[in-house]
Amino acid sequence: NKNMIPYDPRKPLDPSGIRIGTPALTTRGMKEPEMQRVGQWILTVLSNPEDDATIESVRGEIAEFAKSFPVPGIA
Protein backbone atom coordinates (compact mmCIF):
# COMPACT_ATOMS: atom_id res chain seq x y z
CA ASN A 1 0.00 0.00 0.00
CA LYS A 2 1.00 3.63 -0.02
CA ASN A 3 0.89 4.42 3.69
CA MET A 4 3.64 6.88 4.41
CA ILE A 5 6.38 6.34 6.93
CA PRO A 6 6.09 9.14 9.51
CA TYR A 7 8.55 11.97 8.80
CA ASP A 8 9.90 10.21 5.70
CA PRO A 9 11.19 12.89 3.33
CA ARG A 10 10.68 10.58 0.35
CA LYS A 11 7.44 9.97 -1.55
CA PRO A 12 5.10 7.04 -0.76
CA LEU A 13 6.05 5.26 -4.00
CA ASP A 14 9.76 5.52 -3.12
CA PRO A 15 9.97 5.15 0.68
CA SER A 16 13.20 5.04 2.64
CA GLY A 17 12.04 2.12 4.80
CA ILE A 18 9.19 -0.17 5.67
CA ARG A 19 6.18 0.46 7.87
CA ILE A 20 4.89 -2.47 9.85
CA GLY A 21 1.49 -2.57 11.51
CA THR A 22 1.13 -4.14 14.94
CA PRO A 23 -2.60 -4.83 15.48
CA ALA A 24 -2.22 -8.59 14.97
CA LEU A 25 0.52 -8.62 17.61
CA THR A 26 -1.19 -6.39 20.16
CA THR A 27 -4.38 -8.47 19.81
CA ARG A 28 -2.31 -11.42 21.00
CA GLY A 29 -1.12 -9.45 24.02
CA MET A 30 2.34 -8.45 22.87
CA LYS A 31 3.91 -5.27 24.20
CA GLU A 32 7.04 -3.23 23.43
CA PRO A 33 9.60 -5.92 24.40
CA GLU A 34 7.93 -8.41 22.07
CA MET A 35 7.81 -5.84 19.26
CA GLN A 36 11.55 -5.34 19.64
CA ARG A 37 12.07 -9.07 19.37
CA VAL A 38 9.92 -9.24 16.23
CA GLY A 39 11.92 -6.35 14.79
CA GLN A 40 15.16 -8.22 15.46
CA TRP A 41 13.84 -11.25 13.59
CA ILE A 42 12.87 -9.07 10.64
CA LEU A 43 16.31 -7.45 10.62
CA THR A 44 18.04 -10.83 10.85
CA VAL A 45 16.14 -12.26 7.88
CA LEU A 46 16.43 -9.11 5.75
CA SER A 47 20.18 -9.05 6.46
CA ASN A 48 20.56 -12.72 5.45
CA PRO A 49 18.01 -13.33 2.68
CA GLU A 50 19.96 -16.21 1.11
CA ASP A 51 20.95 -17.94 4.36
CA ASP A 52 18.52 -20.83 4.66
CA ALA A 53 19.94 -21.92 8.03
CA THR A 54 19.36 -18.47 9.52
CA ILE A 55 15.85 -18.29 8.11
CA GLU A 56 15.01 -21.74 9.49
CA SER A 57 16.44 -20.79 12.87
CA VAL A 58 14.32 -17.63 13.01
CA ARG A 59 11.27 -19.61 11.88
CA GLY A 60 11.76 -22.03 14.76
CA GLU A 61 12.25 -19.23 17.29
CA ILE A 62 9.06 -17.55 16.09
CA ALA A 63 7.05 -20.78 16.27
CA GLU A 64 8.14 -21.32 19.87
CA PHE A 65 7.62 -17.65 20.78
CA ALA A 66 4.10 -17.59 19.27
CA LYS A 67 2.97 -20.39 21.59
CA SER A 68 3.04 -17.88 24.45
CA PHE A 69 0.68 -15.55 22.57
CA PRO A 70 -2.33 -17.52 21.28
CA VAL A 71 -4.74 -15.94 18.85
CA PRO A 72 -7.93 -15.01 20.74
CA GLY A 73 -10.87 -17.15 19.71
CA ILE A 74 -8.69 -19.65 17.81
CA ALA A 75 -6.29 -21.20 20.28
Listed residue (18, 22, 21, 33) closest to 65, CA to CA: 33
Radius of gyration of the chain (CA): 15
Q: What is the pLDDT of residue 12?
A: 84
C-alpha to C-alpha distance for 52 and 40, rounded to whole angstroms: 17
DSSP designation for 26: H
For residues 11-24, give the mean pLDDT. 88
Task: Answer for the pair 44, 51: CB distance below 8 angstroms, yes or no.
Answer: no
Q: Report, as an integer, the average pLDDT of 37-66.
A: 98
How is the chain split into domains, by residue range? 23-66
Quote the CA–CA distance of 70 and 12 in Å, as a whole number: 34
Residue 1: the pLDDT is 66
